[in-house]
Amino acid sequence: MGALRTIVCAAALTACANNPSPLDKTVGDKKVDSKNTSTDPWSTLTSKTDNKSDDAGGTFGGFDIKGMLEKVAAAMETPGPYEAPEKSADYDEAKPHWGVLGMGGNIVERESFSFSFLGGGGGRGKELRRVVERLREFAKDPQLTGILLRVEQVDVSLPDVIELRAAMHDVRKAGKKLVCHTEGVSNATYLVLAACERIGLAPLGAIALTGPAAMPVHVKGLLDKLGITADFLHVGAYKGAAEPITRDAPSNEMKETLQGILDRHYATTVEIVAAERKMQPAEVQAIVDTALFPSPQAKAAKLVDEVVSFEAFRDANFGTSPWTELEYETPTGKDQLQTMMKVARFLGAMPPERPAGPHVAVIYALGNIVDGDGDGVLGARQEIASHTLVAALRAIAKDDDVKAVVLRIDSGGGSAQASELIWEAVAQVKAKKPVVVSIFFLLFRGGFFFYIGSS
C-alpha cells in the first residue's frame, strides 16, 4: 500500500504541476533573481509575482514544481566527480560521433512494469521489440559513426538472438561500425557478440561455448516416499507434460523430442560462429567440445580479436572522435505525466494508447492458456486468458481501422476449452482481415488452435 500511496501522491503532484491552480494567483511578492545560476534545484523554488495564472502550467501553490522536477532529473543524470563520463568533452549531437550502448540482463518478449524507482527489485527486463527498434533507429542516425556495444551476459533465447543479430547487421549494412567488448559471456550471448566486426575481451575474462543441454527434473520418487500417486490421463505417446511427476525418467518419445530441439540449437550455434568468425564447422565443433576459453586461449581460437580493457578498446576504436553513451529509451521531458500514465495503464485505470487511422494490430499471446479471466495480479499476467483475448479479438474484428492482425505466440499450451474459444475468435477476425501468426519461442498443444485459425 505504501508504494501505491507514493504513486497516487506523485500523480497528483505532477498533475497539479501541469495544470494551473487557483492557488497560483497571488501567493507572495518575492522576486526571482534571473542571474541565479545555482545548480541546486531547490534554489529555483520561487513564488509567483503577479495575479495571473501561469498559462503554461507547471506551478503549484505559486512554486515552479515542473521546473524543479526537470532540474532534479538533469542533476541525477549528471555523473559525479568520481563516476565514469557519459560522453566525451567535445561531443556535439549535431556532429559525427560514436555511441556506446550497454547490453545485459534479461531481454523479454513483453516487459512488465518496474517499481525499481520506489526501491523495488525492478521489472522483468528490456523488451525485445524495443531493443530491435532502437538498433534500427541508430542505423538511420546520420550523425552516428559507429556503435561500441558493451555486452554483459544476457538472458536470451535463440529466437531472440536471431532477431537481435538481424538488427545488428542492419547497423553494419547502413555503413556504420559495430564493435563489441565483453568481460566474459557464454553460449547464446556469444552468438549476439559474434555479429560485431571486432570483439574485445577483458584480460581476466573468458568465453564459454558449452553447447545446449536439457536437464529434465523428475519427482516421482519423492512423491512415492510421501505416499502420493499422480493420476493423469495420458493421450498420445508424445504428450509428456505429466512425465516429471508420473515417471522416474523421460520416456523414449520425450528423449526424442528433446534431442531434436538440442540438435537444432547445436547446428544453429555452429552455423553462426563458423560464418561470423570465418571458421570451418569442424573447428567450431572442437571449440564446443573444449567449452571454456580464458582470454589468451579465446584469442588463439579466434573467438575474439583482442584481449584488452574496455577503456583501451574504446580509445583504440574511437581515436579522436567524440562519443556519447546511448540509451534504449528516448526521453523527451515534454510531459511529466508519461510515467504515471504508464502506471495507470498497467493497473488498468486507463486504456492502452491506440493509433489513429488505419493500422496493424499486434496481439501478444504469452504463457499458459487458461479459462476465464485468468488470475494475473494488477494486469501483470503472463498467461493467455480466454475471456480477455476473445474480447480483444472480437473488438478488432469490428474495427475498420485495423487492416490486419499479427498474433505473437509463445505458449506451451493449456486448456482445450479456452483454446477452442480463442480459435473461433481468430476465425472471426480472419473472415474480415488477414491474421498472421508469429511464433516467438514455443507453440505446443492448444497454441496450434491459433495457428490453424490464421491466414
Give the model confidence (pLDDT) of 139-168 as tens digits.
999 999 999 999 999 988 888 899 999 999
pLDDT at 66 > cutoff 80: no
Instruction: Report d(CA 67, CA 384) in Å as an integer.
Output: 43
| 406 is a domain residue | yes
In a domain, 187, yes or no: yes
Which tens digits make up the pLDDT trace of 28-59?
Answer: 444 444 444 444 444 444 444 444 444 445 55
Distance of CA 164 to the CA centre of its chain: 11
Domain residues for the domain of 62 are 2-77
- Which residue shows C-alpha cell 487492416? 403
**Within a domain: residue 87?**
no
- The string of DSSP letters for 111-143 reads -----GGGTS---S-EEHHHHHHHHHHHHH-TT
Helix (H/G/I), strand (E/B), else coil: 137: helix
Question: Cα 78 to the chain's mean position, in Å?
Answer: 25
Judge contact between 366 and 374, C-beta under 8 A: no
User: What does pLDDT average to over the chain?
Assistant: 78
Say whether both 61 and 9 belong to one domain.
yes
The answer to whether residues 318 and 180 belong to one domain is yes
Q: Where residue 19 falls among pLDDT bands split at 50, 70, 90?
A: very low
Residues 202, 63, single domain; the answer is no
Measured from the Cβ of residue 302, the count of other Cβ atoms closer than 10 Å reads 14
Closest CA to 270 of 283, 284, 260: 284
- What SS3 state is found at 240? coil
| Residues 335, 328: Cα–Cα separation, whole Å | 18
Distance separating alpha carbons of residues 20 and 50, to the nearest angstrom: 14
pLDDT per residue as tens digits for the range 184-196? 999 999 999 999 9
Beta pairing partners, 324: 87, 99
Residue 297 shares a structural domain with residue 366: no
For residues 270-280, average pLDDT: 96
**pLDDT, position 441:** 63
264 close to 239: Cβ distance less than 8 angstroms? no
DSSP category for residue 118: G
Q: Are residues 310 and 438 in the same domain?
A: no
Please say whether the beta carbons of 224 and 191 come within 8 A. no
Q: How confident is the model at residue 424 (pLDDT cuts 50, 70, 90)?
A: confident
Does 420 have pLDDT greater than 60?
yes
Q: How far is CA 212 from the centre of its chain?
A: 23
In a domain, 73, yes or no: yes
Residue of 275, 288, 286, 268 whose CA lies nearest to 161: 268
Residue 105 has pLDDT above 70, yes or no: yes
- The answer to whether residue 423 sits within a structural domain is yes
pTM for the whole structure: 0.67
pLDDT of residue 417: 76
Inform me whether the pLDDT recorded for 419 exceeds 60.
Answer: yes
Matching residue, cell 493500422: 359
Give the model's pLDDT for residue 381: 52
Residue the block writes with cell 557519459:
86
Bigger pLDDT: 20 vs 384: 384
CATH number at residue 130: 3.90.226.10
pLDDT at position 157: 87
312 vs 35, more confident: 312
Quickly tell me which residue has 473488438 as its cell: 395
The number of residues making up the chain comes to 455
Phi, psi of 316 (to 5 degrees): -65, -35
Is the same domain home to 106 and 69? no
For residue 121, pLDDT beyond 60 = no
Q: Identify the pLDDT of residue 303.
A: 97
Residue 83 in this model has a pLDDT that exceeds 80? no
| Helices then strands, each counted (H, E), the chain | 15, 15
Q: Is residue 262 part of a domain?
A: no
Looking at the predicted structure, is the pLDDT value of residue 421 above 50?
yes
What is the rounded CA–CA span in Å between residue 230 and residue 246? 6
Do 147 and 189 share a structural domain?
yes
For residues 308 and 5, which has the higher predicted lDDT (pLDDT)? Answer: 308
- Tens digits of per-residue pLDDT, 221-271? 999 999 999 998 888 888 888 899 999 999 999 999 999 999 999 999 999
pLDDT tens for each residue of 338-395? 555 555 555 444 556 677 789 999 888 887 888 777 665 444 457 787 788 888 888 8
* Alpha carbon distance 274, 282 (integer Å): 9
Whether residues 183 and 41 fall in one domain: no
151 and 56 fall within a common domain: no
% residues pLDDT > 90 (the chain): 45
CB 170 within 8 A of CB 136: yes
Asked whether residue 335 is domain-assigned, the answer is no
Alpha-carbon gap, residue 405 to 396, rounded angstroms: 8
Residue 337 counted as domain residue: no
Question: How many other C-beta atoms are found inside a 10 Å radius of the C-beta of residue 279?
Answer: 18
Alpha-carbon gap, residue 101 to 120, rounded angstroms: 25
> Is 403 within 8 Å of 450 (Cβ atoms)?
no
Average pLDDT over residues 283-289: 96
Q: Tell me, what DSSP letter sits at residue 370? A: E
Coil, helix or strand at residue 223 = helix
Indicate if 72 and 111 belong to the same structural domain. no
- The radius of gyration computed from the CA coordinates of the chain, to the nearest angstrom, equals 27
**DSSP secondary structure of 262-309:** HHHHHHHHHHHHHHHTT--HHHHHHHHHH-EEEHHHHHHTTS-SEE--
Compute the distance between CA of residue 442 and CA of residue 409 in angstroms, rounded to an integer: 7
The stretch 300-322 carries a mean pLDDT of: 95
For the chain, the domain total comes to 3
Q: What is the pLDDT of residue 78?
A: 63
Query: Looking at residue 3, what is its pLDDT?
Result: 41
